[in-house]
Structure 1
């Protein structure tokens, strides 16, 4: 089975449409959506409706911190402009879309795979996996063969050997990576809707369970159109500007 893992969609319709088209061309059979459907972008309702359709077809979907903020109100430690985007988002969503967000779990486990938005140590506290030590802590807490995390917008792959040695590297676009079962793996696919590694192309990953291979993909999309929609909505202009350079 080929499983596409998407995260941090951030209300970016153009990016999500491009990624879904690309995934279909890769003959993906199932999707996992790791949260942050809303925030920053101009089309939260469309993104949520698309996610609901995918879930109805068997996709996994999780709650992200921006999704939680849309439900409960933005926390004080969230940046002022991000809080502004959450307040705007709350005015755009329908009752059915709020209900969908309320239905989302923090984590989901399927066999040897654990999916979380942030990390497996304390999923609801929204801590980042920034280092090898963070990755080891999550792998040990998760007790799984494969752990997929969002929240960090930069693609990265960590691995833990049977002798507790951890390594990591930045994956290359489209290059299959063997992920055999004698190691544990933590993959951060990067962001669909708001990449932050200097590459504006949308990021996601595909796990081929039968082949035990993981491929990270970058998908160009019409980021100028997405940026124009952000400006037209009256959201902070730098949310639009950053889409063009992936920052």
Structure 2
């Protein structure tokens, strides 16, 4: 099975369409979205509608912190109201239908597909939204995941960068920076954690969208980068008249 993994779409219609088209051209048979469907971008309804169609067809969509914020945006005076993640949450909430918000609210925080664990943040405490951005947190994430029967591998989003952590001959995890489009052997006997990057808000200085493709028969993993019309996505954000301009600037510079 070829499993396409997408995360942190952030209401970016242009990036989502480009990644889904690319994944299908690569022979993807199943799709898993790892949360943060909305937030930051201009097309939350479109993205949620695509997710609803995927779930209806038997694919997997889990939830992220921005999805939770869109369902219950912080109110003035709330501690979270001043966070970057909260900016635009109210606008996103208003531009989703009650049915779309209910769909987001119903998303699980963890799922298992094809023998791997999927989680937006860290598997040891998914609801705390911890970033798997170093070897220590990756090890805690992996240790929690592998307590589940049959699970040896974890895919995460949230970080907006593409990284593979694997358990070598020692006790700790080792960090590996993948090259886009280059298949990596990921033997099922070895334990590893991968952060698959962001479809709609890359933050490594490269504006191309990110996703990953796992072949569970050959056990090969490819981290992909996909060009898309990020200028159109940035223009759509500015056209809302409600989002901070730096949300658009992020798409233009990939940071």
Q: Normalized against structure 1, the TM-score is what? A: 0.96
User: Which residue does the alignment assign to 1:108?
Assistant: 111
Give me the whole-angstrom Cα distance separating, in 2, the residues matched to 1:41 and 1:32.
20
Partner of 1:152, secondary structure, is coil
Query: How is 1:149-160 mapped onto 2 (pairs within 5 angstroms)?
Result: 149-160=156-167
Displacement of 1:73 after TM fit? Answer: 2.0
Pick one of 219, 240, 246 that aligns with 2:248: 240
Give me the whole-angstrom Cα distance separating, in 2, the residues matched to 1:164 and 1:3.
29
Give me the whole-angstrom Cα distance separating, in 1, the residues matched to 2:248 and 2:68.
23
Displacement of 1:65 after TM fit? Answer: 0.2
Stretches of 4+ aligned residues off by more than 6 angstroms: none
Give me the whole-angstrom Cα distance separating, in 2, the residues matched to 1:199 and 1:76.
32
Asked if the contact 1:162/1:183 (under 8 Å) is kept, the reply is no
Q: Normalized against structure 2, the TM-score is what? A: 0.93
Displacement of 1:126 after TM fit? Answer: 0.4
User: Which residue does the alignment assign to 1:175?
Assistant: 182
Query: How is 1:1-247 mapped onto 2 (pairs within 5 angstroms)?
Result: 1-74=1-74, 76-77=79-80, 79-110=82-113, 112-143=115-146, 144-161=151-168, 163-234=170-241, 235-247=243-255
Root-mean-square deviation (CA, aligned residues, Å) is 1.3
Structure 1's unaligned 5+ residue stretches are none
Displacement of 1:76 after TM fit? Answer: 2.5
CA deviations 1:51-72 (Å, max 9, x no partner) are 1111111211111000011112
Q: How many residues align?
A: 247
